[in-house]
């Protein structure tokens, strides 16, 4: 049987690449110097795209593959896939939900703790000799007992909130409506009112055109000079220019971010700020989770080409 031809948008670990190469003809888009020429050459033969959450598949890439049947995303977020183009042509889309939920929640909570207690600066305080030279490290803010808001109580938001309950935090959330699985947590529909109430504000919302900049100047200023914003979703959920302005002027206390507009490049204004924690989009980045994501991404492709139901379809 001839192996289906797949356009691969970014690299995967060897434990995924080897089985992919065995089952399919993989065309590595990310290594092509001239991407236009590469697409023009292989696009007409491509039946599947293997991509990652943040890389997705643009309308242009999809249009260059007239025989495209399926796009398999290594990641839960599929906002970077042009769904309109897929719907118009009946192209199936799959993602990797559930397997990454708890690791993403863990990193969000870890960022809150590390940032609130100043752990990165504290490490530098020890290594630089400041501890011996200057004495006690400046006092930081407590986490337990304070108010945590979760914007988007889906799978990841729910796991964040469950973890925060273990820190005896007061929890409130916003979503499309109250959730029956949110017992003991307050529902505050309006994202601005939620920020007004909160000390810590977790953004755990699936990104779409409708949620773009849902965390804007009003939310950021309602959170205020003592508040902390934590983003483990997508950069597009936050108005980054408003965030930078507020961090620079102290209208927002601090932020802990795993995602950035235009990543892996990021706005250099972030680098000059002492009140922001910067992480390289690795909330799902554990060996265990990435292996499960790779397996599920491959299982979706295999099922499609074997004519079986897709394990985790989004379209």
Active site residues: 234, 263, 281
E strands of 36-135, at which residues? 48-52, 70-74, 92-94
Q: Does 159 bind ligand 8YV (CB under 6 A)?
A: no
Helix (H, G, I), strand (E, B) or coil at 54: coil
Q: Which is nearer to ligand 8YV, 156 or 215 (CB)?
A: 156
Options 56, 77, 108, 294; binder of ligand 8YV; rule CB under 6 A: 77
Q: C-alpha dihedral over 283, 288, 292, 293, to 10 degrees?
A: 20
Stretch that binds ligand 8YV, among 70-78, 105-113, 132-140, 188-196 (CB under 6 A): 70-78
Residue nearest to ligand 8YV (CB): 75
Q: How far apart are CA 177 and CA 12, in angstroms?
A: 38
Residue with tokens 């690449």: 17
Is residue 100 part of the contact set for ligand 8YV (CB under 6 A)?
yes
Kindly write out the interface string for residues 260-279 of this chain, putting x where it contacts ligand 8YV by CB under 6 A and - elsewhere: --------------------
Q: Which is nearer to ligand 8YV, 203 or 252 (CB)?
A: 203
The span from the CA of 191 to the CA of 306, in Å, is: 44
Nearer to ligand 8YV, 146 or 234 (CB): 234
Please state the closest distance from residue 12 (CB atom) to ligand 8YV, in A: 9
Report CA-CA distances (Å) from 217 to 48, 162, 193, 233, 238. Answer: 40, 28, 13, 18, 9
Piece of 24-32, 51-59, 152-160, 196-204 that binds ligand 8YV (CB under 6 A): 51-59
Q: What are phi and psi of 96, to 5 degrees?
A: -125, 70
**Residue selected from 24, 29, 38, 74 as contacting ligand 8YV according to rule CB under 6 A:** 74
Q: How far is CA 271 from the centre of its chain?
A: 20
Which of 56, 75, 157, 294 touches ligand 8YV (CB under 6 A)?
75
Q: Assess 76 for contact with ligand 8YV (CB under 6 A).
A: yes
Strand 70-74 with 48-52, pairing: parallel
Q: Is the distance from CB of 252 to CB of 221 less than 8 angstroms?
A: yes
Interface residues toward ligand 8YV, by CB under 6 A: 52-54, 74-77, 100, 281, 284
């Amino acid at each position: 049987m001839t192996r289906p031809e797949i356009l691969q948008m970014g690299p995967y670990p060897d434990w995924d690449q080897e089985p992919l190469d065995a089952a399919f003809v993989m065309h590595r888009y990310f290594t092509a110097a001239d991407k236009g020429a590469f697409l023009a050459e292989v696009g007409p033969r491509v039946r599947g795209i293997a991509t990652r959450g943040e890389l997705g598949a643009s309308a242009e890439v999809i249009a260059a593959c007239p025989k495209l049947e399926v796009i398999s995303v290594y990641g839960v977020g599929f906002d970077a896939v042009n769904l309109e183009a897929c719907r118009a042509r009946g192209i199936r889309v799959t993602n990797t939900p559930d397997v990454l939920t708890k690791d993403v929640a863990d990193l969000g909570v870890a960022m809150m703790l590390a940032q609130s207690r100043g752990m990165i600066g504290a490490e530098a305080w020890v290594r630089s000799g400041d501890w011996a030279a200057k004495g006690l490290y400046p006092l930081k803010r407590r986490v337990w007992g304070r108010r945590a808001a979760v914007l988007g109580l889906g799978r990841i938001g729910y796991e964040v909130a469950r973890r925060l309950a273990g820190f005896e935090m007061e929890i409130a959330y916003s979503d499309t409506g109250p959730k029956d699985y949110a017992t003991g947590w307050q529902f505050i529909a309006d994202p601005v009112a939620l920020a007004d109430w909160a000390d810590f504000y977790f953004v755990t919302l699936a990104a779409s055109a409708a949620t773009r900049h849902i965390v804007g100047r009003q939310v950021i200023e309602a959170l205020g000079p003592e508040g902390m914003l934590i983003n483990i979703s997508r950069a597009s959920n936050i108005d980054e220019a408003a965030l930078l302005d507020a961090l620079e002027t102290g209208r927002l206390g601090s932020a802990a971010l795993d995602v950035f507009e235009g990543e892996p490049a990021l706005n250099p204004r972030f680098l000059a700020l002492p009140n922001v924690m910067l992480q390289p989009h690795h909330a799902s980045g554990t060996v265990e989770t990435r292996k499960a994501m790779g397996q599920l991404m491959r299982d979706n492709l295999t099922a499609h080409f074997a004519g079986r139901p897709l394990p985790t379809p989004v379209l």
